[in-house]
Amino acid sequence: MADDDLDPRARLAPARALETLSLDDLRAYEARLQGELETVREMMANKQADISAAESLFKR
């Protein structure tokens, strides 16, 4: 396993040359990003809930 496999930043898509995209392409790209952002926020909430549950379990 390469070290890059463990680095979440290495898995991010490279930046796009947005100035080359049409207005319709930019809108479609924005919609995809919004969907991904929603997924990220849900994942963060789930992970925070897991952390909170673990903390409350070990505080007893």
Which pLDDT belongs to residue 7? 72
3-class SS shares of the chain: helix, strand, coil, % to 5: 75, 0, 25
What is the predicted pLDDT for the residue at 4? Answer: 62
pLDDT at 9: 66
pLDDT, one tens digit per residue, over 1-54 is 566 666 766 666 767 799 999 999 999 999 999 999 999 999 999 999 999 999
pTM over 0.85: no
- Cβ contacts of 54 within 8 Å, gap of 6 or more: none
* In the chain, domain spans: 36-60
Residue 59 is given by DSSP the state T
